[in-house]
Amino acid sequence: MNKKVLLLLSVTFFSMARAQEATLILNVEDAKTTISKHIYGHFSEHLGRCIYDGFWIDPKLNVPKRDRIRLDVVDALKKINIPNLRWPGGCFADEYHWRDGIGDRKKRPKMVNNNWGGVSEDNSFGTHEFLQLCDLLGTEPYIAGNVGSGTVEEMSKWVEYLNSDGDSPMTQIRKLNGQNKPWKVSFWGVGNESWGCGGNMTAEYYANEYRRYATFARNYASVSLKKIAGGANSADYNWTEVLMRNIPRHLMWGISLHHYTIPTGNWGKKGAATHFDEAEYFNTMKNCLFMDTLVSKHAAIMDKYDRDKQVALVVDEWGIWTDVEPGTHPGFLYQQNSLRDALIAGSTLNIFNNHADRVRMANLAQTVNVLQAIILTKGKEMLLTPTYYVFEMFKNHMEAKLIPFTLSSPDYISNNHKLPAVNVSASIDSSGKVNITLVNIDPKNEITIHANINGKSIGKVKGSILTSKSYTDINTFENKRKVIPANFAGAIISNGKVEIKIPELSVVSLLLY
């Protein structure tokens, strides 16, 4: 073998080795922005088996329950410190009339869920039941009001029913229904997807409607509403521009954004939840990481009108959306949840954390049995999906201070296309502990990360890892623990620096102190 060939091989080997290394520099002294716990919110719509047969079960089902609320589901959500829960939709919100869901359950009128499968619902799960669920969870309710088919009066009186401590027809009805004191619901969505299922409105028309509805959704002495405008569909930047220009700041706490990761990019044939090749995996991760571009561009528009960042960006629907599982109702949106979905969750939460100056609330779609669910149920059985464990691993970021950083990552390359292989977010909590969450989306290469932590002395590290052999691996009712976290021993501290060997297809959470 001649010298030129040897030199070429040496250069190639060196390049490959370098391509599997990353550098991370954390600047702890610059940590000023709080990562809101509400970024880790969830979403439960009257859709498929999320409410009925998810949270709200047949009274004959032999599982622990309070009234008809399934308590093993409640206990699982409490373990991840669920900060808020959005309800009743989604598209369902704009055909939901709240007075049909209060009072004697036997006398409540049935309704047809026109958006999701055309099934009939008995309205047995309504306002009181939802707020009982939130009380059991120890979480804040986030209610989406009906703008599409409702009226200003209807929304105004729902707010009064929930929050007023005065003497009025609404409070008297509430007391007759068993709730003497107001619930003090703060988060309030004024419509949902008004550009689509919520009314097919233009941005200008919705902005005017919002002003009217929000004016009569009043603050009561017990609580001030955090009113959230129905924001853009993915990359519709004009929608954000119009709302920020036309809605006064005092009427709007936040503006929403909806974006789903579609594996194929084709809404007609989205791709399977469990059977896909690397080309589709790569495309899925590309569509997931587009969230960073979306948030950056919408935030830049908001900055034009709101330099002090008073208005929150609320990403209250996000997650992967695949074709439904074979043999299930096409309108119920039931899909399995793989290691790929956990990588999506970790990457997306890292993005939200890193934009914590503007993103102050988000809601994964959805909590139980629908889309990127963190919990699946089947009769008496329940399982936790890989996505659930990501929320468990990331919960230390809640209300911690975001640590600015610089990251140099190798690329994940597939068919001459490339993405950053590693994404990160970091925070420091009130006790001085540093939290780092890392995701390696590369399916072939372990990556060594050389991390410097400026402004903080570190002596110990603990960690956990979520990984599996294949990005298609899932938890099933036959094997509920195939994809679960394990202790992570791949981080070593030396001379105040940290070396982290993060395996391929993995989510890692570190606690340094």
| Catalytic site positions | 193, 317
Residue in 492, 471, 491, 490 with CA at minimum distance from that of residue 482: 471
> By the 8 A CB rule, do 432 and 513 touch?
yes
Please say whether the beta carbons of 72 and 27 come within 8 A: no
The 3-state secondary structure of 15-69, one letter per residue: HHHHHCEEEEEEEHHHCCCECCHHHHEEECCCCCCCCECCCECCCCCCCCEECCE
Distances (CA, A) of 205 to 201, 391, 486: 6, 37, 51
Q: How far apart are CA 435 and CA 513, in angstroms?
A: 9
Question: How far does Cα 435 stand from its chain's mean position?
Answer: 20
Amino acid letter, residue 206: Y
Burial 19-29 (b: 16+ CB within 10 A, else e): bbebebebbbe
The rounded distance, in Å, linking the Cα atoms of 234 and 319 is 12
> Which of these, 139, 125, 151, lies nearest to 46 by C-alpha position?
125
SS3 204: helix
Chain-centroid distance of CA 218 in Å reads 28
Cα–Cα distance between 140 and 185 in angstroms, integer? 7
**328: DSSP letter:** S
The set of residues, in sequence order, having a beta carbon less than 8 Å from that of 485 and lying 6+ positions away, is 389, 392, 393, 464, 465, 466
Separation of alpha carbons 221 and 165, rounded Å:
8
Decide if 76 contacts 117 (C-beta within 8 A).
Answer: no
Instruction: In whole angstroms, give the CA distance from residue 12 to residue 131.
Output: 61
For β-strands 187-190 and 140-145, DSSP reports them as parallel
d(CA 29, CA 503) in angstroms, rounded, equals: 30
